[in-house]
Structure 1
Amino acid sequence: MKTSPGRDASVALSTHLHDWVLARVAPDSRVALMAPTPALVAALEARACSRLVLTEGPAEALAPEARASLERFAPTHVVLPAHSTWPLATWLETLRLAAPRAEVLWGFWNAGGAAGLLATLLGQAPGRAGPSDVEVTRLLRAEGFEVRGREARPAPPGTPGLASATEDSLRALLTQLSASAEADLLLYAVAPMSGARVEAPALVPGLLSVVVDATRSEHPGSLDETLFSLACQDHAAVEVLLVGDTSGTPLPEGLTTTRYGTVRQALAGARGQYLAFLDAGSVIYPRHYARLLDTLGQGTAAWALARAFRATCRPGLSGRPPYIEGKRPFPLGERPDTAHLLAEPELLQALVIDRTRVGPLSLEPEALLPRLCGLFPPVFLAEGIATCEVRSLLETPPAPRALAPSMRMLLPLSTLVETLAHARAEGALSRGRVHRVVDELNTRLREGLPWLHGALRSAAQGRRR
């Protein structure tokens, strides 16, 4: 499949749209074609589908007679032109009124597709004028349309002028940032929803949205302690999004709280510029979020991380709340170590994300920490005590999520060199410490237990022979 916007791309889009329409319609379907397409008209006729062929016209509105014909025809499916001069928003606004029960079918080249972006960067194709999949998803929600079908077709690898390993890495990075970048050609089937249009909430500057998950079986169940710790935060602009069955939990006064059934719904309703996650039962100390937000505000980092520790809990007796049996700090050292972050998925509860700095990155928590580590170097608050207490009824921490082979890390070469130099220095220092310990032990054995020292030395010489 070609990715250039020339004739080959045009033919590919028309061909795939033709097949997409035939896969969605049935013999009794009433199909309105918004542009004359002889091959598709013939195929629909062979299927015994009722057909209406219209032309979009030069203006961004259907002519009165065309609109009346469309309303009388009452289509079950409307096929948009493969190459239209109208913006998608115009089509959706028009068809919501003129064909409210129709399924709208169309296809487009994704302006945010990885292959197209690489071709543009290499000067092999101009930047696409069409929409990106992220833009289309946002527009459908705003116009009140539901997605009934979607097919994504990635262009095969083999971009001229790039080594295959380089192309794979660049595509993987773009896909990590936006999952829809994997698709270069997209086919949609959408229909108007019966409810009112839903605008995506605008991000409120300075507001922190905290998603509290009460659905996990390993949390201690002390949701009231979690909410109390949030009510005591030094950062005042906080909204809490509760996930799960929390109807029996009293809510602290003055804390903006909303209940949701799933994490995805909570993320869709989150209004804050900043985002954080907590499991029910975990607590954070009053200065935790204030320090992280101050740090993000002073720089350009996309996320910040504070020190935390893990508390193992035991269920209380006779209906009493759980009690903490033991604590251990997360081993983060003096600098954020990617290996430690990926090995401790519970550290997701110790960070804050600036949503204005992560682009279209998916914020669903299941694989969020690896994606953040791969694309956005964090700011780590190494000084001071831990301010996040991750509580769990399980003694053993959850296993780290297996990384996909396609995961890539965006890292300046200078940072990599500095990290390797630091690791070598730490290794040399450790070896020096080991040698000093061995020398000291050897001296003590020679002076205090000469017979044991002689026996060990003879045994070692014997092994060397």
Structure 2
Amino acid sequence: MSTSKQRLSRLDSPRREVLAPADAELLQALLDELRPGARIAMVGCDSPGLLQALEEAGHPVLSFTLPEGTGPLEVPAEHEQLRSFHAELVLLGDGWLRAADPAMSLARTLQHASAAEIAVSFYNAASGNTLIAALTGDKALPRFTCCEEQVTRWLATAGLRLQRRQVLQQTSASGLLARGTERALHRLFQQLNPGASAHRLLLWSRPARASERVPERALIPGMLSVVMRNHSLKRLDLIDQAIFSLACQDYTQLEIIMVTQSQDPQAVATLTAILERHQPVGDYTFQVLHRPSDTDIRAQLVNTGLKAARGQYVAVLDDDDVVYPQHYKRLIDVLREGEAAWAISKVRRAYFRTAPNGELYCRGKDELPRSGKFELHQLVRENNITCHSWVVDRARLGRFPVGFAEELSLHEDYAFLLRLAALFRPALVEGTATCEYRMRDDGTNSILFGGNATVQAEKHRAWAASTALINALKRNLQVLLTEHDLEMEAEKVRAAVEDAKREPLEAGQRAVDMLNAPRFVLIDRANLAVKEHLPRAHRAVKLALSSLLR
């Protein structure tokens, strides 16, 4: 049974309550948001100091303390108290989590304070500090904790819309472990779940209008969502080929999410028409999302598509590349047969030139070199994985954030792969290449290939700036490695260094061998004979050749 006490006077007790440091942060957050004199109902906030401080700040307070295992407002008299109090804010404290059914308790509270804003204060069960305290058996572990995702679900189920998220306490060094070890664990936890950086949270919500209520959407098992990003309608022929390659996939439980930043008013209609034209071949579903922009928002386009994706599996395909019919089936088969969270296929590079009439034609293809095993040190050294060569199984990632770094206009997919590979090793698809990375000589690729001198100079500047950001990410990335894995990676690095040392020597030896070849020996002897017996002719030929080389 819960008990309540209504306090409307500024001071009910001559005794000065002590405000705990953690509650001081909560108090400041409340005072920053509330209007003067706002009426507050506190549910499960076992802090006399906080209650007194709010009263002293001029806020009428109605407080319900909750014995463990009970829910708020279980006594009819309390229902009337809350209803007649007309609270502008209901603050749910840690004690709310003691209820046998917090979701039911929240619903019951809302019945009697339907117009109030709801704020929930709690310690995050997934914070680095909470996890380290639990692992070390520390007595300072908060007694009542909850995962942010669970609280958010309770709010949504109750018909509330999350308005803002405040971090009252960030994770910090606790001294329970050696500083370096604790720092490494904090980084690891935050890479797996960014929410691990928040130790204590305050979530603000209000009743959602019918139009604002978004039902929780579970991933569709087995579905593959392919996100395509599009910048303009200037290369519709390439877009058409990319979509046709998706329509021809052997894996048929497929949705295409096209996200375009084109400012052309007909962009959505044009892209929809292409998708509809190929739909009878592939029987896929599709969405076209429009985010018009005059700047390059390539990472934002992918993230927009990923948020809309419904599939258990996700992939990214640029609108100028293609995938072969067996591509996604082989990737997903490898995932289903194993335990990995993502898989990579082999890639074929296709080199395109621009004909005099402006049309592109393929002048040749080769396979992107790759060893039979995933080698982390190679990925750390440079990005050797194209963005359309992988598929991710989101059901095996937990709270790991699947998304590209929007602060990067280049290397955005590389940053994601570094974060992913640090915690999850991929499976590899054996056999021949199953997708095609198209490189054009007109400079329209973002890579350092093709284009005139001006285009090349601009690309070099952009890549240099992006590389600096990537290097900063690498310096702070925590990697999961067994000692055996570390030894193997170190051996691969040593071998690569030795190969690099030998290469100049081998190249020099090849040059010596070439100069010692019979045809070069004959030419050298002929040159010496002409110089000795026909010096004038030799000088004339030498001057003529020198003028040609200027």
TM-score range, shorter chain: 0.7 to 0.9
Task: Verify: 1:368 aligned to 2:416, yes or no.
Answer: yes
Alignment pair present for 1:248 and 2:270: yes
Q: What per-residue deviation string (whole Å, max 9, x for no partner) do you get for residues 184-226 of structure 1?
A: 1112222221126433322232221222223x46994543333
Over 3 Å counting, the alpha-carbon distance change for 1:124 and 1:68 in structure 2 is same
Determine the structure 1 residue equivalent to 2:149.
134
Give the corresponding residue for 1:462: none
Report the 3-state secondary structure (helix = DSSP H, G, I; strand = E; otherwise coil) of the residue aligned with 2:395: helix
Equivalent residue number for residue 347 of structure 1: 386
Residue-by-residue CA offset, 1:273-297 (whole Å, 9 max, x unaligned): 2111123333211111011111111
Deviates more, 1:324-333 or 1:124-133: 324-333
1:414 aligns with 2:452: no
Q: Deviations over 1:113-149 (max 9, x none)?
A: 1122112212224696521123333443444433323
Deviation at 1:20, TM superposition (A): 2.3
Match of 2:206 in 1: 191
Residue of structure 1 in register with 2:315 after alignment: 276
The one-letter code matched in structure 1 to 2:54 is L
1:305, distance to aligned residue in structure 2 (A): 1.0
Matched, 1:379 2:423: no
Going from structure 1 to structure 2, the CA distance change for 1:112 and 1:128 (only over 3 Å counts) comes to farther
The equivalent position to 1:389 in structure 2, one of 427, 433, 437, is 437
Preserved CA contact (<8 Å) 2:422 2:479 = yes
Q: Give per-residue Cα distances to partners, 1:359-411, cap 9 Å, x unaligned.
A: 10011223422210211111233531251435782353565552434211112
Distance 1:92 1:450, change over 3 A: farther
> Which structure's CA Rg is the greater one?
2
Matched ranges for 1:110-121 at <5 A: 110-121=124-135
Q: Is the 8 A contact 1:155 1:184 kept in 2?
A: yes
Structure 1 residues 418, 217: closer, same or farther in 2, change over 3 A?
farther
Which residue of 2, 20, 24 corresponds with 1:15?
24
Assess, with a 3 A threshold, how the Cα gap between structure 1 residues 290 and 21 changes in structure 2: closer, same or farther. Answer: same
1:463 alignment partner in structure 2:
none
* Worse-superposed segment, 416-425 or 165-174: 416-425
Moved more, 305-314 or 238-247: 305-314
Deviates more, 1:139-148 or 1:436-445: 436-445
Residue pair 2:229, 2:258 contacting (<8 A) in 1 also: yes
Structure 1 position 60 matched with structure 2 position 71: yes
For 1:204, which of 220, 228, 241 is the aligned residue?
Answer: 220
Farther-moved stretch of structure 1 (286-295 vs 29-38): 29-38
Which residue of structure 2 lines up, in the alignment, with residue 182 of structure 1? 197
Q: 1:268 to 1:75 in 2, by over 3 A?
A: farther
Deviates more, 1:257-266 or 1:162-171: 257-266
Q: Secondary structure at the match of 1:112?
A: coil
- Is the deviation greater in 25-34 or in 308-317? 308-317
User: How many Å apart are 1:157 and its aligned residue?
Assistant: 1.1
**Corresponding residue of 1:27:** 36
Tell me the TM-score normalized by structure 2: 0.70
The CA deviation at 1:268 is 3.8
User: 1:122, 1:259 → 2: CA distance?
Assistant: 50
- Show structure 1 runs of 5+ residues with no match: 1-9, 454-465
| SS of structure 2 residue aligned to 1:175 | helix
RMSD: 3.7
Of the structure 1 ranges 392-401 and 187-196, higher mean CA displacement relative to structure 2 is found in: 392-401
Q: 8 Å contact 2:129–2:174 — kept in the other structure?
A: no
SS where residue 249 of structure 2 aligns? coil
Among all aligned residue pairs of Structure 1 and Structure 2, give the percentage whose two residues are the same amino acid: 28
Change (3 A) 1:159 1:55: closer
CA separation of 1:163/1:229 partners in 2, compared to 1, >3 Å: closer, same or farther?
same
Q: Report the Cα offset of residue 416 of structure 1.
A: 2.1
Q: Which has the higher contact order (CA 8 A, sep 6+)?
A: 1
Give the counterpart letter for 1:83 in structure 2: G
What is the letter of the counterpart of residue 492 of structure 2? H
Aligned partner (choices 96, 106, 114) of residue 100 of structure 1: 114
CA distance in 1: counterparts of 2:70 and 2:516, whole angstroms: 99
Residue 270 of structure 2 aligns to a residue whose secondary structure is: coil
Q: Which residue of 1 aligns with 2:287?
A: 258
**Structure 2 regions of 5+ residues with no counterpart?**
1-18, 261-266, 291-300, 406-414, 449-462, 526-550
- Residue 148 of structure 1 aligns with which residue? 163
Does the C-alpha gap of structure 1 residues 444 and 21 become closer, same or farther in structure 2, counting only changes over 3 Å? closer
- The corresponding residue for 1:336 is 374
Kept in 2: contact 1:374–1:407 (CA 8 A): yes
- Which one of the candidate residues 176, 180, 187 is aligned to 1:172? 187
Q: Is the 8 A contact 2:225 2:311 kept in 1?
A: yes
Aligned residues: 441
Corresponding position of 2:542: none
Return the offset for 1:234. Answer: 0.4
